[in-house]
Amino acid sequence: MAGYHALVLGGTGLIGQALLQRLLADPAWAQVTVLTRRALVGADGAPLTHPRLHQQQGSLDDMAEHADLFSVDQVFCCLGTTLRKAGSRDAFRRVDFDYCVEAARLGRRQGAEHFLVVSAVNANPRARVFYSRVKGEMEAAIQALDFPMLSIMQPSLLLGDRQEFRLGETLGAWSARALRPLAAFSRADWLPIEADTVAAAMQAAAKSPVPGCRRLRYDAMLSLQSGNVIPAA
């Protein structure tokens, strides 16, 4: 096998960095391309280099100018922002809907077989909560593109070593940990999950391709990480 070619969007983020490390350490990937607005740095703060890594810097507003980069086997989309960082609902939607859907359109047009995107457990196009509604609308718009394979990761709170402090996420993670014993009596979808587990599930999903659309929540991501195949929904 010649090896997969992949494009990663959001490679500087919490999940994106974990995913990138995993793909570069896995010989199944012959080339990993990353499109970012800033240079990638390694754990030592030095520019990240790797013989199978190709980096392209640019604004995602000009994504179509980089259409060639989307001629890959898989497009991994780990993009996202927060309302606080974005500064307005429009700016949030630009990242969490427009960029993600544009990436999917380009991937589909350029023949990518598998699109893997990070959404959220509460994604729902009819939700009253803006964040959940945007995520749900993003999922629906990408699903309508009819990829041969589509994997939608739906984590709850992400755990990991984030440089920036996010109060809401920190409080949410503490309370969810305290409530963890109750998980035995309900579905575990709402439990916080390590960003690296999401990344591992994306890597595993790419290597165990299943036709159609899969939505992967807590249990499914852990199961995929352990080597099980999760069928299409």
Ligand X SMILES: NC(=O)c1ccc[n+]([C@@H]2O[C@H](COP(=O)([O-])OP(=O)(O)OC[C@H]3O[C@@H](n4cnc5c(N)ncnc54)[C@H](OP(=O)(O)O)[C@@H]3O)[C@@H](O)[C@H]2O)c1
Residues 17-46 contacting ligand X, CB under 6 A: 37-38
Identify whether 135 is a catalytic site residue. Answer: yes
**Is 102 a residue that touches ligand X (CB under 6 A)?**
no
The string of DSSP codes covering 114-178 is EEEEE--TT--TT-SSHHHHHHHHHHHHHHTT--SEEEEE--SSEES--SS--HHHHHHHHHHHH
Which one, 26 or 169, has the nearer CB to ligand X?
A: 169
Q: How many CB atoms lie within 10 A of CB 179?
A: 12
Residues 182-221 contacting ligand X, CB under 6 A: 195
Which one, 45 or 227, has the nearer CB to ligand X?
A: 45
Which one, 3 or 65, has the nearer CB to ligand X?
A: 65
User: ∠ at Cα 201 (16, 139), nearest 5°?
Assistant: 70
**Is 120 a residue that touches ligand X (CB under 6 A)?**
yes
Residue at token pair 């990993």: 32
Identify whether 131 is a catalytic site residue. Answer: yes
Query: Which residues contact ligand X by CB under 6 A?
Result: 10, 12-16, 37-38, 60, 78-81, 95-96, 118, 120, 155, 157-158, 169, 195
Question: What amino acid positions are annotated as catalytic residues?
Answer: 131, 135
